[in-house]
Amino acid sequence: MEINLIIDDNKASFFLELLKNLDFVKDITLSKKLSEVENTLSDTEQEIWQGIKEGLEDARKGKIRPAKQFLEEMKLV
């Protein structure tokens, strides 16, 4: 069974801790309207977030490169 709740932000932390301690809770998924979160980001954070979204979209489409190639580009190997 799946249940969706809307919890005030100032009570969410307490509620999540409560749920985590119940042995019958199988999964906890948090969601907030993405636009609400994006509107609070600084310019730098928005740029980083855009890069993350593009990377996830590329991965979803199968446009990924091997980790070794990425690390070489970052000069970490």
Supply the Cα-derived Rg of the chain in whole angstroms.
18
For residue 50, give its domain range.
9-73
Summarised one tens digit per residue, pLDDT across range 31-42 is 667 767 787 889
- Identify whether 3 is part of a domain: no
- Identify whether 2 is part of a domain: no
The arithmetic mean of pLDDT across residues 42-50, rounded, is: 90
- Identify whether 4 is part of a domain: no
Quote the pTM value: 0.43
Q: Residue 44 — very low, low, confident or very high, per pLDDT cuts 50/70/90?
A: very high
Summarised one tens digit per residue, pLDDT across range 8-29 is 877 878 888 888 888 898 888 7
Residue tagged 């609070």 (tokens): 40
* Count of structural domains, the chain: 1
- Identify whether 1 is part of a domain: no
